[in-house]
């Protein structure tokens, strides 16, 4: 989910999948995605845990979240620049429609 080219569910039956493979299947991180703080939400034994992985780090392969588990949720957050642009677009739309 988030700042990837094709957000949505990816089903890979019976295979292991790494974070890099999953992001590749989603079309890659957009130019507005934070590559250094990818959030992984994982449920283990009924307990939800959240972890982060830095795709720009040379230690990416050592992360406990590098190999994904079944039903992991991956969230690529937008950069501050993207948030600013979206906010500016909302203001412009309000002005354009006379809502401001």
Question: What pLDDT band is residue 83 in, cutting at 50, 70 and 90?
Answer: low
Q: Is the pLDDT of residue 12 over 70?
A: yes
Q: Is the pLDDT of residue 82 over 80?
A: no
Task: State residue 76's pLDDT score.
Answer: 95
Q: Is the pLDDT of residue 95 over 70?
A: no
Buried-exposed string 1-35: b where 16+ CB fall within 10 A, e elsewhere: ebbbeeeeeeeeeeeeeebeebbeebeebeebbbb
Q: Is the pLDDT of residue 64 over 90?
A: yes
pLDDT averaged over every residue in the chain: 85
Kindly list the structural domains of the chain, giving each domain's residue range(s) and its CATH number in brackets, ordered by start. 19-96 (3.10.560)
Task: State residue 93's pLDDT score.
Answer: 62
| Residues 36-57, mean pLDDT to the nearest whole number | 94
Question: What pLDDT band is residue 97 in, cutting at 50, 70 and 90?
Answer: low
């Amino acid at each position: 989910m988030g700042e990837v080219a094709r957000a949505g569910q990816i089903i890979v039956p019976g295979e292991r999948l790494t974070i890099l493979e999953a992001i590749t299947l989603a079309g890659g991180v957009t130019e507005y995605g934070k590559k250094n703080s990818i959030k992984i939400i994982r449920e283990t034994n009924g307990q939800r845990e959240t972890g982060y992985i830095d795709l720009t780090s040379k230690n990416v392969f050592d992360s406990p979240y590098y190999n994904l588990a079944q039903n992991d949720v991956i969230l690529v957050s937008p950069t501050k620049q993207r948030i600013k642009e979206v906010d500016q677009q909302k203001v412009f739309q309000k002005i354009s429609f006379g809502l401001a």
